[in-house]
Structures are given as C-alpha cells and as structure tokens.
Amino acid sequence: MQYKLPLFPEQASTVAGPVDGLYLFLVLITTFFSLLVGLLILFFAIKYKRRPGHEAEQIHGSTLLEIIWTVIPLGISMVIFVWGAALYFHERRPPANALEVYGIGKQWMWKFEHPSGQREINALHVPMGRPVRVTMISQDVIHSFFVPAFRVKQDVLPNRYVDVWFEATKPGTYHLFCSQYCGTKHSAMIGEVTVMKPDDYAAWLVGGKVDGSLASEGEKLFQELGCITCHRADSGARGPNLTGLYGRPVRLNDGRTVIADNNYIRESILNPNIKIVSGFQPIMPTFQGVVSEEGLIQLVKYIETLSLQQGEPLNNRTSPSEIRDNEVPNIQDQMKQQNAAPQPLPGKKP
Amino acid sequence: MSHNLATTEEHHPALAHQFDTMDQQREASTFGMWVFLLTEIMMFGGLFTAYLIYRHKYYTAFVGGSSSIDVTWGFANTLVLIGSSLTMAMAVWAAQNGKRRQQMIYLALTMILGVAFLGVKAKEYYEKYDECHIPGQVIGKGFNATGGCDAGDPKKGNIADDLESRNVPPAAAAQIARQTEIFFSFYFAMTGLHATHMLIGLGVLAWLFLRAKRGEFGPEYYTPVENVGLYWHFVDIVWIYLFPLLYLISRNGHEIFS
Amino acid sequence: MSTATQPASQLVMPAKHYLNDNYGIRSWLLTKDHKRIAVLYLFSITFFFFVGGLFAAMIRLELLTPAGDLFTSDTYNKLFTMHGINMIFFFLIPSVPAVLGNFLVPLMIGAKDLAFPKINLLSWYIFIVGALFSLATMVTGGVDTGWTFYTPLSSGFVKTHVILMAVGILTAGFSSIFTGLNFIVTVHRMRAPGLTWGRLPLFIWANYAASLIMILGTPVLAITLILLALERGFHIGIFDPKLGGDPVLFQHMFWFYSHPAVYIMILPGMGVISEIVTCFSRKRVFGYSFVAFSSIAIAVFGFVVWAHHMFVAGISTYSAMVFSLLSFAVAIPSAVKVFNWTATMYKGSVSFETPMLYAFGFIGLFTIGGLTGLFLASLGLDIHIHDTYFVIAHFHYVMVGGMVMAYLGGLHFWWPKITGRMYPEGWAKLAALITFIGFNLTFFPQFILGYMGMPRRYHAYPEEFQVLNVLSTAGASILAVGFILPLIYFLYSMRFGEIAGPNPWQATGLEWETSSPPPTHNFEETPIVTEEPYHYGADREVTVVP
Amino acid sequence: MESTMEHAHPSRKLYLLIFFALVVGTCVTYLVAKIDLGIWNPVIALAIACIKAILVILFFMHIRYSSKLTILTVCAGFFWLLIMITLSLTDYLTRL
C-alpha cells in the first residue's frame, strides 16, 4: 500500500492560488521568526553557558531595540492584514454573472437545487470556468459549507440566506465538508462537489429527470397559496406588484428603504407586516409553517424571474443580481427558454 | 480622621490578621467592593447589549410589548427604589457617626422599601402570568401566538387586540404580537436578574441589621455598611436604566404602525 | 539578599511551616492560608488535567483509523466536548493563577496573605461545586455540544445535560471572578513598604493583567450561559432563530469572554517564563517596563478582537475587517515579550535546570503558536482554515506548548518553595525532553491536516488524512508519558526529595527570602524593599546597550 | 498608594437634595415620555437616566470623595461596557 503525504489540498478554484500564496508567505514569516528566536536562544545558551569566572552582564534594556521590534512586527502584520482583507473582500463579493445554485443544510445532509430544477443530495455539480454562487440556508442548526479544494467556507445559518461563491478551474470530484459542529452525525454530513467541463455540464443538466424549474415550481406555489389574489399589476391591487421588484430598493412606510433581496422577500413571506411597502396596508397573513424552505427558495426564485420578464433597459437597474442572468448568454438562458415563462397573472384564486 | 484613629486602633477586634491597620483594611474592602461592582456592570452589560440589538431589530414588537406593561407601577417602583437608596445612604451616614438607633431605623426602612419594590414586581409578574405573557411554553399556559391568552378575550392584555384598538390592521397586529415574545424574554431576564440582586441585597441588609443591633459599627468600623450601601445603590442604578428601557418604549402615541 | 549556597546535606527543614502548622482534614478544608488553598487547587486541577487527558487519549485513539470504529459518534462528540470543558474551565483557567498565583502573589509582594482570605477559600469551594456539576454531567452521560455551546444546537437540539453543565461552568466562573478580585485588591493594597509598581515581579504584573480579564470578561460568560440555560429550560427565544432570535449573537457574547479567556490562560504563563528566564540567566530581565506593560496591553487589546472567531459565521464584511485589524494589534505585545526574553539571555550566565528547559520549550512553541495565530487573523486565509485542524494545532501550540509548559516549568521552579524539597533533576529533565518531543509530534501534523482541509470535531474522516493522524496519535502517546512522569516524581519528592533550603536557585524576589516551606504568616517580619527587581550580580556595573 | 484619603462625607441635607433631584428626574422622564418628540424620546429618557446614575454614583456612592483608583475603576467598567456595545454593533449595524 502506498501512502501519499500531500501538504496542500488540490487547487481547483480561482482563489485557491492566491490563498495558497498568502499561506506560503505566512509560512515563510513563521519559519523565519521561529528560526530566528530558536537559533538566538541556542546561540545564547551555548555562548553564555554558566561557567566559573564568568558573570552575567547586567543590561537593563534598550528603548531603540524595543521600538525596532515593535515597529517591524507591526509593519509585517499590516501587510498581512491588507493582503488578507483584499482576498476576503474578493471572496465575499459574488460576481454579477454567477450561476446560481441553492443549498439547504439540515441535520445531517446537504440538499442542492439548480434553477432548472435539478435536485441533488450530498452532491453538487458545477461547471468549470464559470462563477457559481451558492445561496444557502439551514433548516435546523448552524452548518458550514466547506470545500477545501476551492478554499471557500461559509457558515449556513437558520432563518437567513447567506451565500458563497467560487469559480472552479479543474474538472474532478472534491470533498464537501460540514465544518461547523452540528450534532451526532456531523462528520457524516459530507458530500462531493463535481466540477465538469461546460459541455459535460450542459449534458448533465439535460440528462436528469426534472419536475420543473425552480421558478415554475415557485409560480405553482404562488398560485396555490393565493398570492396572486393581491399581488397583481392593476391599480386596485391590495399588495405591491412584484414584477420588476427583485433587487430594487423598496421604500417602506416608516420611511426606510431596503433592497428587495432574497432575505427581504423571504422575511416578507414569513413576517409580511413588519416591513411594509409604502402605500400599502399591513394585511397579508403570515406563511410561517406553511411553506417549506424549498418552497421559499422557489418563491424567491419566481419573484426574481418576474423581474427578468420586463425587458427594461439594463441601465435602469440598480442591483447586480438583476443584471446577472441577462448578461450570460449560455446554459441558464437556454434553460429559461425550455421552462415556460410565467404569463401575466390571471386575477383569480385557485 | 480615621487615619489617625486607625494607627492607635491596631487591636480593634474587627482587624483581620492580614492587614496592618484598620485604614488599610477599610480601603481594601471598599476597593474590593468596587471591583465586584465592575463585574456586575459587565454582567448586566451583556444583557443590555443583547437588548439593544433586538430593540433595533424588532422595534415594533418592543413597542407592542412595552405598551402592555403598566407604566404607573414602574414609575412608582422607581420612586420606591430611589427612596430606599436615600435611606441606605442615611444608614451609612448613621454608622459613620455612631448613631446606632438611627442606623437601625434607616436599615429597616431600606428593607421595607426593598420589600415593597419586590411586592410591586411580584404583582406585575402575576399580571403578566395572568395575561399569558410569560415567554416560552413552560410556565402558565405558555406564550400564545396572539400575545395574550385568547384573541378577542374581553380581558385586557391581549397585545394583538390592544394594537388593533390602536388602529393597527389585524394582520399586522397578529404578527407583531407574536414577536413580542422576544421582548418579554428580555423583560423577564432583565427584571429577573435585577430582582435576584434585590433579594440578595435584602438578605445582606437583614444580616447588617442584626450586626447593627449588636452595636458592631461605629466611626472606626463601618466598612460592611458602606459596602452593602454601594451594592444597593448599584442595584438602584440598574433600575434607573431598566425603567426607561423596558417601560417607556414609544409611550407617546406616535403612529409607528401606520 | 540570599545567603550563600550551603551544601545540601547541611540544609534542614524549618521547624514550623505552613504544612505542619496543624494537622487533620479540618485544618485543610477550613484553612484561610493562601498557601494551603493553593495546594488544594493543585490537587483539584491535577485531577481534572488527567481526566481531560484521558478524554484526549480516547479522541486520539479513535482518530487512528479513518472510520469511526472505536466509539459511536455520540460518544465521540461527548469526548471532545468534555475534553474541552475540563481542560479549559477546570484546568487551564485556574492553573497558574489559582495554584502558583495563590501561593506566590502574597509571598512576592511581602504580604501576610491575600486581601480576602475567606473569599479565597470560598472561591475554592465554588470551584469544587462547579467541578461537581461537571462531574455529575459526565457521570450521567456527558454533553455533546462542543465546549463552545453554539446555539441553536445547544439550546434546542441535543438531548444531553446542557443546563447542568452550563451551571457548572457558570459556577466555576464565579470562582475565577473572586480569585481575580482578590489578586487585584491585594496587588493594589497589600504591597510591602518600598515595593513600588516599578519593582513588582513580572509574575505579579502578568497575574494582575489576567485578573483584569477575569473580572471584566467572566460575568459576560455568566450571563450568556444563564440566557442559554433559560432558553433551553423555558424555550424563550433570545438566540433561537425559530422565535426570531439571532444565533450569531450567542457567538458574539460567548467569544467576548472566551477570546480574552485565552489570555487568562497564557498571561500568567508568560509571567512564569519571565521569572524563570531571568533567574537562570542570572540577569535582570531585558526591558522590564516593556514586558510589564505588554501584559496590560494584551489584557486590554484582548477584549477587542473576539469576532475573529466568527469571520465565516455570517457577520458583516465591515465588522470582519475591523476585528481582523485589531487582532493583528494584539500580536505585537506578545512579540515584544518573546524578543525581550530572548534578549535577556544575551551576555547572561545561562544554566539548564529543568525550569529553564521548560522555558526554552515555551518560548519556541509559543512563537510558533503565536505566529500561526496570524494565519487565523488574516481574513482571506481564515476562510479556508477556520474550523479545521489548523485551529486545533494553533490553539494547542499556545495552550499546551505555551501554557502547560509554563505551568510545569513554574511548578518545578517553585516546587522547592511549596514543599521544601527538590524534585529529582535527572528525571525532570527527561520528562521535559519527552514532553517537548511528544508535543511536537502530536500537534505539528495537525497544522498540515488543517490546511489539507480536515474539519475539527470529525469522528470519521477521509482516508487521505490517515498518515498524519497516525503520527499525531503516536505523538500523543509519547506526550502522555511526559505528563505522567512528573506526577510520579513530584509525589515521590514530597517525601524523599532532597531538602531544598530557602533559595535553591539563588533567585531574587521576596518569596525566596523566607524559609521553604514558608511559615503560615509568610514572613517573620514584614520585608522592606529597597532594590530594583531582578537585582542579579549586584557587584557588576550596569551597562546600557544604545 | 494614597494613604491620605479624604474621609469627608456628604451631609444629610445634601442627601435629601440629591434624593429630590432624582425624584424630579423620574417625574420628568415619566411626563416627557407621553409627549411625542420622535427620535428624541428615548434620547431624553436615557440622558435623564444617565444624569440620575451619575448623581447616585457621585454622592450616594461617595465617588466624589473617593480616591483616583476608585474613580478609575468605575470608568473602566463603563469603558468596557462601551467596547462590548460598540464592537457588537459594528456587526449588527452594517449587516445587509
């Protein structure tokens, strides 16, 4: 049996290289200072070993030296800070054209949903060479999405969408770990991320059996739950028109303005009357306990696609999340064409 | 003055072996008490920080919850506690000046006011119990999603009904009422921790009273009275903040629900 | 200063000292003597150290193979939780302060006792009550939340005795608060005549700084655990997302204490090292005031860096930047200390008794531990290594490689003062060497494991991590020998060790000017301090390096 | 060390005066709360609370007559409280 002893995980994303670069720099710093201190101690220990006739020379200290070894570490650590912060900033900002995947963590499994409707458990297929943004939520405790080969990690929280993004650079299968302790089978909450070449990925997307895209499932829910009774386009509607809403700033009736992002839409379904759109009455019933996390994701996705149907000029839009799908003329758009686009909503209750 | 006294008073019965003088002992214990109060500041501080964050996050629910508490009792209790602080300060003064009888009277008054405060608090707690405002599902009938025992119950205290009567649309009132549970969690955690401190304080006051009765305190030895006084005033200060933070959230009738 | 060295055979134990002042179990359990209370702590925490060590051994055995085949996952989860809780709350936090600090603070400042001896005894009892809660939890099935008790897992999901354990930790926390309070008041109000702040031993400075953290941080842990217990017991919703709470707030409040708490653990250790290095270099510590103030700086900065445990927990990017920047600031005073210790040896007269060997171990391992902290404070890198074995390795380099080394070094250094007898030097040197080797073999592979991506708290792991795990387990078995050896020879030396005499190391400091073991009231007459600290080689000229 | 500490203590008259001020503060807090001042309501309430707390600390708790060390201790308490609150808020106020 042959054992390998690798020192690095595979580099399979665009940030892996830069992260390893920073790591190596820090390893260098650590080695240098550890050796410096270690060798100095060794040298002093030998040179000034206690022997008869030799006495210690009483030195009180040196302000100059103190300043030197305060300022130099301070300088070095500021370099590390800026370097690390720049990387972090990059890793925290999903590019506008990222492919969207939705993830749900629960004790003790990962569920992923692709916009086109594919569902996976403890597995995630992503294309190579394209940024992927995973929007995640937990159904119970805190989990953490960790793919060492991509050098990305994000805690997955209950009651709140968080996202993480990466751009895979190398086809293959990589570990997906839950890295936040989550109870009994924490170490079994693992999965595989499969990075595929774009063609293979397209084939994979078409190959699976799919009920319907997230948006079309969301539309079904939208009708079943009776949302359309109030959220209509006409002027007499009791709820705000959702078309063109996603990613927009919304003025609330207490004067504040919020961006209608995933979390706002989710919150508005569960606790609709806390942040009310200006000009409307707080009359919507809550859907807490009525819609599952999957259902919420579908509704959010549906509301997002409502904004894409408008065909407004792009420059009127404010949020990058709105622009993203229009700019990318590949798979996702093909998928959209396959899945029936939502029609103007009929004003009747199911 | 007591500095000079201390040097001649080396064999005072209350002088502990590790100290050289009464003065050193007095300074050490008072400083120790202040350091202890420092830890108390941080303990309540943790709660205040959490309170601030949630008040920011669930402002409307905090308004709803706060409105359901009877502000008059809170106001009265503030006065009671301030009064007890005065009598406590007087008790310390009496001890410093060697007036044993007055000291006992002031200590007794402090205790009476403290008990009165806790009595009012108990009444308020019972009211909350009666209105099903105890957070969690363990005590009483459990916190109801409508913010009271039953929606439409003619009895007062149903937060949803209360909000509706203030022109809040029913759907909004229901959701705000459900979120008030978090307000009540803070209400009980904060006033509960405060009341626990009061209870401990009353116990210590009773012990002081007995010692005062035996005539143990005088101009040269009054540190225990002074330290208990510091503790009692600290508990008073906590309440000075709790009153506006818990009872007075938007009492002005401003239309925040629109 | 100290008397000239006498041949060991001529030394005799003092006729009357704190150990033979009176006898019987009552004389120990009702003692108000800080030295006896220190000994009580010594036995209590030694017990918890070996209980925690046993859990560690079981963890390492399980991780020998990739599959989770030795214990069930629930048992494994309890093992690492109980290991963490035992080691942190019942060993590391009380280790140097409650044992060496209790024994030495009054001796070093020339006082008869701590300012509040009754409170000192009370805090031992409170510690024991907390420890009993913890033992009760262990006996009735343990806790499996991880020592961090993250909500909502701890408040609503696990089925073990979380409340009981929270009460245990809370109680032990109050013991720590009272110890800190006692030290602070004692240092301010009980110093011998002439012992100004600039003349205080660095061990006192370090313990003073750690005490500041104890009194300012611990109450926040207390209230956090109270809220957690209320939430679990009464289902109120402060951290529970189902009821609108924010689980991340729990992390903020938990780390507000638990990050500074690592400085409670390491600062007194640094104080011990400062004493040892100067003594065995026969030289005044280099840059006394810088070493002293860096302790205070660490204590203060330690409070403003807590969210670096939460960079991937869902805090805002802005907040993460602030906390990262501040985290780098806390590294500076630690670096200053390391450089000053090294410079202390320069032109010294260095000898290699066991305490000095531990001090060498400390400086080397703490340097590595501290520098790997920079990896974790660096935002972009922390995303990858957060919650992996890298964190475990870093933490153990600081806590075991740093703190436990310092504790053992200090125990060897002051053992003659505590018991009046010497430990066997040869065995002790062997143990120090074994500990050093075992430690590095155990924890160095974990840095690599962590960067490879092995998450912490994993019961089973992918096969490619096995080689490094086997190395680590092998190291742990060596480390165990290194820790059991001192237990044996210390016990042996209490009866059969050579008589030490008042000052076997020819060290400076008031604690060496009284007999070993000291009399119950520490000093025959209150000492008066007229010298600067660490006044070694009084005859020599003092030179200043430009 | 300050071995020459002042042992002056406030008179009973001063205590009564402080008590009176505290009662007035409480009444003002209670009455102002009923007037609609928008954002200023909580600000005024807390400002009065702070004044009351300072009065209690200065006079009832004798800080006005205490050593620098004691004053420093009190300040440290509020300083650390401020650290906890502001640094926690760096997260909560900037979360999107």
Q: Do residue B56 and residue D92 have CB atoms under 8 angstroms apart?
A: yes
Report helix angle C288-301 to C247-281, nearest 10: 170
Residues A156 and A246 both lie in one domain: no
Name the band, by pLDDT with cuts 50, 70 and 90, for residue C543: very low
What is the CATH classification number for the domain harbouring B173? Answer: 1.20.120.80
Q: Domain for residue A152, yes or no?
A: yes
Q: Domain for residue A14, yes or no?
A: no
List pLDDT tens digits, range C83-139: 999 999 999 999 999 999 999 999 999 999 999 999 999 999 999 999 999 999 999
Q: Domain for residue A38, yes or no?
A: no
For chain C, domains (ranges, CATH) are 33-513 (1.20.210.10)
Average pLDDT for C528-540: 76
Residues A236 and A320 both lie in one domain: yes
Please choose, from the candidates B195, B166, B163, the residue with its C-alpha nearest in 3D space to the C-alpha of residue B180.
Answer: B163
Q: Are C137 and C161 in contact (CB under 8 A)?
A: yes
Q: Does C215 touch chain D (CB under 8 A)?
A: no
Supply φ then ψ for residue B40, to 5 degrees. Answer: -65, -40
The pTM of this model reads 0.91
What pLDDT sits at residue B255?
A: 58
Q: Do residue B46 and residue C181 have CB atoms under 8 angstroms apart?
A: no
Q: Which of C115, C217, C236 sits opposite B32 (nearest CB)?
A: C115
Chain D: give the shortest CA distance to residue B156, in Å.
Answer: 21
Chain A: give the shortest CA distance to residue B247, in Å.
Answer: 22
Q: Do residue B45 and residue D80 have CB atoms under 8 angstroms apart?
A: yes
Cβ neighbours of B37 in D, within 8 Å? 77
Residues A194 and A260 both lie in one domain: no
Cβ neighbours of D1 in C, within 8 Å? 188-189, 191
Q: Domain for residue A11, yes or no?
A: no
Query: What's the rounded Cα separation, in Å, for the pair A184 and D11?
Result: 65
- Minimum mean pLDDT among A124-138, A149-163, A285-299, C276-290: which range? A285-299
What pLDDT sits at residue A236?
A: 73
Q: Do residue C307 and residue D87 have CB atoms under 8 angstroms apart?
A: yes
List pLDDT tens digits, range C418-463: 999 999 999 999 999 999 999 999 999 999 999 999 999 999 999 9
Q: Domain for residue B69, yes or no?
A: yes
Per-residue DSSP letter, C513: G
- Do β-strands A109-113 and A119-121 pair in parallel, antiparallel, or remain unpaired? antiparallel
C-alpha torsion sign, points C538, C542, C545, C546:
positive
Name the band, by pLDDT with cuts 50, 70 and 90, for residue A279: confident
Q: Domain for residue B154, yes or no?
A: yes
List of chains touching C (3+ CB pairs within 8 A): A, B, D
State chain B's mean pLDDT as an integer: 86
Please tell me which residue of chain A has the smallest CA distance to C445. Answer: A7
Q: Do residue B185 and residue C236 have CB atoms under 8 angstroms apart?
A: yes
Q: Do residue A274 and residue B60 have CB atoms under 8 angstroms apart?
A: yes
DSSP, residue by residue, C357-408 = HHHHHHHHHHHHHHHHHHHHHSHHHHHHHTTBHHHHHHHHIIIIIIIIHHHH
Report helix angle C425-452 to C354-377, nearest 10: 10
Q: Do residue D81 and residue B42 have CB atoms under 8 angstroms apart?
A: yes
Please tell me which residue of chain D has the smallest CA distance to C213. Answer: D80
Token digits of residue A60: 């009180």
Residues A219 and A327 both lie in one domain: yes
Residues A318 and A222 both lie in one domain: yes
Q: Between these two residues, C546 and B211, which has the higher pLDDT value?
A: B211
Query: What's the rounded Cα separation, in Å, for the pair C443 and C400?
Result: 10
Given the structure tokens 């919703």, which residue do they identify? Answer: C237
Residues A119 and A220 both lie in one domain: no
Q: Which domain holds residue A156?
A: 99-207
Name the band, by pLDDT with cuts 50, 70 and 90, for residue B152: low
Domain boundary among A184, A207, A230: A207
Q: Domain for residue B228, yes or no?
A: yes
Average pLDDT for C495-505: 91
Q: Domain for residue B87, yes or no?
A: yes
User: Percent of chain C beyond pLDDT 70?
Assistant: 97
End-to-end CA distance of chain C: 30
State chain C's mean pLDDT as an integer: 92
What is the CATH classification number for the domain harbouring A295? Answer: 1.10.760.10
Cβ neighbours of C291 in A, within 8 Å? none
What pLDDT sits at residue B11?
A: 67
* Distance, C-alpha B257 to centroid of its chain: 31
Supply φ then ψ for residue C85, to 5 degrees. Answer: -65, -45
Residues A223 and A334 both lie in one domain: yes
Domain boundary among A181, A207, A233: A207
CB pairs under 8 A between B and D: 134
Cβ neighbours of C248 in D, within 8 Å? 91
Q: Domain for residue A181, yes or no?
A: yes
Token digits of residue A274: 């806390």
Q: Domain for residue A193, yes or no?
A: yes
State chain D's mean pLDDT as an integer: 87
Query: What's the rounded Cα separation, in Å, for the pair A27 and A91?
Result: 22
Interface of A with C in 105-164 (CB under 8 A): 107, 140-142, 144, 146, 148-149, 151-155, 157-160, 162
- Minimum mean pLDDT among B4-8, B246-250, C115-119: which range? B4-8
Q: Do residue C242 and residue A158 have CB atoms under 8 angstroms apart?
A: yes
Query: What's the rounded Cα separation, in Å, for the pair B41 and A169?
Result: 53
B217 to each of B20, B213, C199, how far by Cα in Å? Answer: 20, 9, 38
Candidates C123, C218, C236, partner chain B, best to mutate (most B CBs within 10 A)? C236
Average pLDDT for B133-157: 71
Q: Which of B60, B171, B176 sits opposite A283 (nearest CB)?
A: B171
Residues A255 and A231 both lie in one domain: yes
User: Percent of chain B beyond pLDDT 90?
Assistant: 55
Q: Are C364 and C338 in contact (CB under 8 A)?
A: no
Q: Do residue A282 and residue B179 have CB atoms under 8 angstroms apart?
A: no
What pLDDT sits at residue A312?
A: 43
What pLDDT sits at residue C209?
A: 97
Burial readout A87-121 (b: 16 or more C-beta within 10 A, e: otherwise) = bbeebbebebbbbbbbbbbbbbbbbbbbbbbbebe
Name the band, by pLDDT with cuts 50, 70 and 90, for residue D8: low
List pLDDT tens digits, range A122-135: 999 999 999 999 99
A194 to each of A124, A149, A155, B113, how far by Cα in Å? Answer: 6, 11, 21, 71
Q: Which of D83, D91, D95 sits opposite C252 (nearest CB)?
A: D91
Q: Are B186 and B51 in contact (CB under 8 A)?
A: yes
List pLDDT tens digits, range A235-275: 777 888 888 888 888 888 777 788 888 888 898 888 887 78
Close Cβ partners of C454 (under 8 Å, ≥ 6 residues apart): C388, C389, C461, C465
Q: Between these two residues, A18 and B139, which has the higher pLDDT value?
A: A18
Domain boundary among A207, A236, A252: A207
pLDDT at B258 over 60: no
What pLDDT sits at residue C297?
A: 96
Chain A: give the shortest CA distance to residue B130, in Å.
Answer: 27
List of chains touching D (3+ CB pairs within 8 A): B, C
Please tell me which residue of chain A has the smallest CA distance to C319. Answer: A85
- Minimum mean pLDDT among A231-235, A339-343, C165-169, D35-39: which range? A339-343
Q: Does B41 touch chain D (CB under 8 A)?
A: yes
Q: Which domain holds residue B60?
A: 43-247
Q: Do residue C322 and residue D90 have CB atoms under 8 angstroms apart?
A: yes
Name the band, by pLDDT with cuts 50, 70 and 90, for residue B256: low
Q: Are A231 and A242 in contact (CB under 8 A)?
A: yes
Which H/E stretch holds residue C135? helix C117-139
Q: Domain for residue B27, yes or no?
A: no
Q: Do residue A254 and residue B256 have CB atoms under 8 angstroms apart?
A: yes
Q: Do residue B39 and residue C219 have CB atoms under 8 angstroms apart?
A: yes
- Minimum mean pLDDT among B176-180, C387-391, D53-57: which range? B176-180
Q: Domain for residue B36, yes or no?
A: no
C-alpha torsion sign, points A44, A50, A55, A60:
positive
Query: What's the rounded Cα separation, in Å, for the pair C476 and A318?
Result: 57
Q: Domain for residue B5, yes or no?
A: no
What pLDDT sits at residue D96?
A: 63
List pLDDT tens digits, range C18-53: 999 888 999 999 999 999 999 999 999 999 999 999
Q: Does A34 touch chain B (CB under 8 A)?
A: no
Given the structure tokens 């190579």, which residue do they identify? Answer: A128
C-alpha torsion sign, points C329, C330, C336, C338:
negative
List of chains touching A (3+ CB pairs within 8 A): B, C
Please tell me which residue of chain A has the smallest CA distance to B61. Answer: A274
List pLDDT tens digits, range C315-347: 999 999 999 999 999 999 999 999 999 999 999
Chain A: give the shortest CA distance to residue C236, in Å.
Answer: 17
Residues A177 and A156 both lie in one domain: yes
Total structural domains within chain B: 1
pLDDT at A193 over 80: yes
List pLDDT tens digits, range B162-218: 777 777 777 778 788 888 888 999 999 999 999 999 999 999 999 999 999 999 998
Total structural domains within chain A: 2
Cβ neighbours of C252 in D, within 8 Å? 88, 91
Interface of A with C in 33-92 (CB under 8 A): 33-34, 37-38, 40-41, 44-45, 48-51, 54-62, 64-66, 69-70, 73-74, 77-78, 80-81, 83-92
Please choose, from the candidates A275, A238, A249, A270, the residue with its C-alpha nearest in 3D space to the C-alpha of residue B256.
Answer: A275
Cβ neighbours of A186 in C, within 8 Å? 73, 77, 457-459
Q: Domain for residue A82, yes or no?
A: no
